[in-house]
Amino acid sequence: MNIKFLTIFALLIFSNLIAQNKVDWGTKFDVDTKNEQDMQLVMKDNYNYYLASVVNHDGMLAQNQVIIRKFDQRNQLVNTFSQNFPLTDMFTLHFYKGSFQVGDNKFVVFTHSYSNKTKKAQLDKIVFDKTSGTFTTTTIFDYPILSLSKSGDIFIMRSENNKYIGIVFQKYSSKKEPEESDCLVLDGTTLNEVWKKTISFPAESNTNERVLTNSGKFAFVRTVKEVGSNNVLSMVDAIGIENKDFGAVIKLQKPIAISIGNQDYLIAFNYPAKGIRRGDYGYLMLYDIQLSKILQNNDIEGFNSIKDISEVVFRNITIQNNEIQLFADCKYRSGTMPDPAFPNTSFTVPVYRFGHSSIIILGMDGKFKKKIDLVTSETNVYNDSFGILKNRGDYFINLGYKGSFFKLNTPNLDTRETKISLDYNSEFRDYQYGEYINQLFSYFPDRNTMLFAKRFPDNKMIFVSYNEIKL
């Protein structure tokens, strides 16, 4: 009996050692957790991966730059590349407008700069090429401005299929003047120009939302005074403008464009423009752009009951198994905090969090089928309330140490299978505590490796790999 016990004990110790060897912690590295924003894992291959971020801070201690960190297979920081935004004089204001991976080897950042001194503004693209380890900055266009408040605005977006990048420069105009915009579509894998056109809408109207479809067209959702100030749709391509009607007196909230087969559709929360308004997120529609018709406008419960909700973000949209599957994350105001720009004063700024996540499933005709709550904890806006990975038709959800990394069981997606329990209080002191960043993770199928990121209160971050993980 003693020999059997010792044998089992030895096997348990050996198994534990093997399990420990399956986890590769990198070395902590410095990160400005206060100012670095929009962190993304990009340009991944079997040898290296890159962490991209942007700092956009004007004022006396101005810092406006792109930061690219390179890591190896063992999660060690190999190199750090940085590039300042164009126009570094103290009279210029800078605005980060968005960033995307381009092909396998490049990453692009778009910046919009205003100079009150020269009365000039410009849009630039900053492209990092991992092959050469260099940045290239190019001005897409520049234009004169009357003042900072009368300078127009830039909107950058990407199609849901990642095939196109859209740029809209809406020029300044008064309410009594026509609204004019320069539209530019770039190839999403080369950044080459696909088409561009200047368009104009009549006075007494204004654009609320701009979306780029998978076919490379812009969908302008506009408010028109002549039709009672409800929303109408204008589709814009290289040929011109095609005006459409929604066929209902509604107003849309941040529509998204999807494709079913070769046809483009819009999905959007909406509310009645007239009558009793129960909130901004009471209905969810599927709109057929070709037919100019709302196929379904579903009464959706739950979102309007969230106190101080400001936005519903779709983290993933997939069409499979004859369903439209939408993963929703809610941004809401959770309170206020002292304004860091005015210390030692009574000025405050709002504090926002993410939470109340769910899966919304629609039929192919847009009809509501069900809503599944994802049990998540509320997080600050630095951290999505969940991360999502789609692999061979299956969904995997990352909740960090608060809920581990698990698979949603098909076909109902309402039960889960835990794949990895991420460690919070590691036995190694250097890795204890901190916060897993839910959206910063990746899977390397050739190595059967899962990668996760963790940040700490002392402005440090670390990457950790869980090996021999088969999804």
In order along its 471 residues, the chain shows pLDDT tens digits of 444 443 344 334 334 433 444 889 999 999 998 889 999 999 999 999 999 999 998 877 788 999 999 999 999 999 999 999 998 777 889 999 999 999 999 999 999 999 888 888 999 999 999 999 999 999 999 988 888 788 889 999 999 999 999 999 999 888 888 999 999 999 999 999 999 999 999 888 889 999 999 999 999 999 987 656 678 999 999 999 999 999 998 999 999 999 999 999 999 999 998 766 778 999 999 999 999 999 999 999 999 999 999 999 999 999 999 999 999 999 999 989 887 767 778 889 899 999 999 999 999 999 999 999 997 878 888 899 999 999 999 999 999 876 689 999 988 999 999 999 886 556 677 787 888 999 999 999 999 999 999 999 899 999 999 999 999
- Same domain, yes or no: 352 and 395: no
- Same domain, yes or no: 328 and 400: no
256, 211 in Cβ contact below 8 A? Answer: yes
435, 425 in Cβ contact below 8 A? Answer: no
55 within a domain of the structure (yes/no):
no
The pTM for the full model equals 0.91
- Same domain, yes or no: 392 and 444: yes
Span 295-334, pLDDT tens digits: 999 999 999 999 999 999 999 999 999 999 999 999 999 9
- Same domain, yes or no: 454 and 418: yes
- Same domain, yes or no: 392 and 428: yes
- Same domain, yes or no: 402 and 467: yes
Which sign, positive or negative, has the C-alpha torsion 43, 99, 405, 373?
Answer: negative
- Same domain, yes or no: 375 and 393: no
- Residues 316, 325: Cα–Cα separation, whole Å: 8
- Same domain, yes or no: 411 and 373: no
Give me 400's structure tokens: 């960090």
Residue 325 structural domain: 307-379
Q: Which of 331, 357, 379 is the last residue of a domain?
A: 379
171, 189 in Cβ contact below 8 A? Answer: no
Q: Which of helix, strand or coil describes residue 401?
A: helix
Span 348-376, pLDDT tens digits: 989 999 999 999 999 999 999 999 999 78
341 within a domain of the structure (yes/no):
yes
Q: Which of 317, 348, 379 is the last residue of a domain?
A: 379
- Same domain, yes or no: 392 and 408: yes
- Same domain, yes or no: 412 and 470: yes
- Residues 233, 244: Cα–Cα separation, whole Å: 5
468 within a domain of the structure (yes/no):
yes
- Same domain, yes or no: 401 and 447: yes
105 within a domain of the structure (yes/no):
no
Q: Which of 318, 344, 379 is the last residue of a domain?
A: 379
Q: How many domains does the chain have?
A: 2
213, 257 in Cβ contact below 8 A? Answer: yes
